[in-house]
């Protein structure tokens, strides 16, 4: 059976039955090995070395930590029991309600208004990532959301870096910090965050991002900040093509100079597909593929916020199998009730990924990191490739 999929610029096309059908086809391709399904257990996927490049600090707190910090700072919570609180945080994702999803961030940011709290949350993030065998992580957050109790921007960033450093050193996880500005803020505030990011480049900050609601807030409004970052030879990733279409991705790359794209799921609207084969690409898709522009895909988050209707609608396997530089990230572990291990488990289950694919995705991510080339090469050869080779031997996969 031949399936035709056409992705025009109409938002509804990503939800088309053609895409659903073509992705379904890949769930059980003819060469799909039940051996892989059998072998790739949760524990094995957890033990695979991983690289996390899209993880929001205020989206990954432990429920118990939120409870303790809220009690200390007199903040009321909707639930007192950690498990109930965890469920409360992920209800937006379960109900596919973006407003419920976003509402929860007011609680996590409320408990992160002191140096101690910021350091603790950052340190615990490193511990939690280490438990998933993440070997390198880029954590991001918006410093301007943590000034409610009188800290200044420098103090906020310093406190987070301290926690990442302690947690990273104690658990053997290397890290970089990305500072986010918010799309709805004034361009002057965005420039201030861009300057802050560059000022901390020797202390662990590796890049700059702009997050928040895409609709009505085009990144080009903040062009001065992006020009500043580029003039300083620094790194840019932009949340784009999640809620808004191809135009948003084009603007992020060609106007703002993004080196990576956060999500970018709607690039699929710039293609004509037949089954898993891309028959025709628009010039932006070609540019992204040719220049190896990395895209940070977050499966659970994209479904939970409604950017993609379901896992089987997600274009990740299409991009991956057609040699785009894509990889998996968890976005907001708490709100999406996920971990990087879970994201890979989903991809194994839904898209038939095998062990080799997990390694390739991890190397894709490591190549796309914002640290310097020599460190990346060292991590790829000494840690990632070695780790996969060891596991392959242990599990008899050679």
* Catalytic positions, written as ranges: 242
Q: How many Cα atoms occupy the beta-carbon half-sphere of 196 within 13 Å?
A: 24
Q: Is the dihedral of CA 3, 8, 13, 14 positive or negative?
A: positive
Q: How many Cα atoms occupy the beta-carbon half-sphere of 268 within 13 Å?
A: 33
Q: Count the neighbouring beta carbons within 10 Å of the beta carbon of residue 76.
A: 9
Name the residue among 288, 363, 266, 278 with its Cα closest to residue 321.
278
- Which residues, at least 6 apart from 215, have a Cβ–Cβ distance to it below 8 Å? 243, 244
Nearest residue relative to Zn ion (C-beta) = 331
Minimum CB distance to Zn ion, residue 283 (Å):
26
Cα separations (Å) of 303 from 89, 113, 326, 329, 383?
A: 16, 30, 17, 13, 32
Minimum CB distance to Zn ion, residue 294 (Å):
14
Pairing of strands 134-141, 4-6: unpaired
Query: Using CB under 5 A, which residues numbered 285 to 344 contact Zn ion?
Result: 331
Of the pair 173, 180, the CB lying nearest Zn ion is at 180
For the chain, what is the radius of gyration of the CA atoms?
Answer: 20
Tokens, residue 300: 């659970």
Residues in contact with Zn ion, counted by CB under 5 A, come to a total of: 1
Minimum CB distance to Zn ion, residue 301 (Å):
7
Of the pair 128, 357, the CB lying nearest Zn ion is at 128
Of the pair 214, 331, the CB lying nearest Zn ion is at 331
Of the pair 269, 331, the CB lying nearest Zn ion is at 331
Minimum CB distance to Zn ion, residue 180 (Å):
8
By CB under 5 A, name the binding residues for Zn ion. 331
């Amino acid at each position: 059976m031949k399936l035709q999929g056409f992705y025009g610029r109409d938002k509804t096309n990503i939800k088309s039955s053609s895409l659903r059908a073509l992705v379904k086809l890949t769930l059980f391709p003819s060469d799909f090995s039940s051996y892989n399904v059998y072998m790739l257990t949760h524990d094995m996927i957890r033990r695979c070395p991983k690289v996390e490049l899209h993880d929001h600090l205020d989206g990954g707190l432990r429920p118990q930590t939120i409870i303790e910090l809220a009690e200390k700072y007199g903040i009321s919570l909707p639930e007192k029991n950690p498990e109930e609180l965890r469920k409360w945080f992920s209800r937006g994702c379960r109900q596919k309600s973006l407003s419920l999803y976003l509402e929860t961030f007011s609680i996590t940011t409320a408990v992160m208004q002191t140096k101690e709290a910021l350091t603790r949350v950052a340190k615990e993030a490193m511990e939690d990532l280490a438990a998933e065998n993440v070997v390198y992580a880029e954590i991001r957050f918006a410093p301007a959301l943590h000034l409610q109790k009188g800290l200044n921007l420098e103090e906020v960033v310093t406190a987070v870096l301290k926690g990442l450093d302690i947690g990273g050193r104690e658990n053997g996880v290397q890290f970089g910090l990305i500072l986010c500005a918010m799309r709805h803020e004034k361009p002057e505030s965005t420039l201030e965050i861009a300057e802050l990011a560059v000022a901390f480049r020797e202390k662990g900050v590796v890049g700059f991002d702009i997050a928040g609601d895409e609709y009505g807030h085009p990144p080009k409004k903040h062009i001065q900040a992006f020009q500043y970052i580029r003039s300083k030879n620094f790194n840019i990733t932009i949340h784009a093509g999640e809620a808004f279409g191809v135009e948003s991705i084009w603007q992020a790359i060609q106007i703002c100079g993004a080196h990576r794209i956060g999500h970018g799921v709607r690039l699929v609207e710039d293609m004509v597909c037949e089954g898993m084969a891309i028959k025709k690409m628009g010039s932006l898709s070609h540019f992204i593929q040719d220049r190896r522009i990395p895209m940070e895909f977050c499966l659970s988050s994209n479904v939970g916020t409604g950017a993609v209707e379901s896992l089987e609608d997600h274009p990740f396997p299409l991009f991956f199998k057609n040699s785009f530089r894509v990889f998996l990230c968890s976005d907001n572990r708490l709100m999406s009730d996920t971990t990087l291990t879970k994201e890979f488990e989903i991809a194994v289950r839904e898209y038939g990924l095998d062990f080799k694919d997990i390694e390739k995705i991890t190397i894709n991510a490591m190549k796309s990191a914002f640290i310097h080339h020599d460190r990346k090469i060292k991590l790829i050869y000494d840690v990632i490739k070695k780790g996969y080779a060891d596991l392959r031997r242990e599990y008899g996969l050679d």
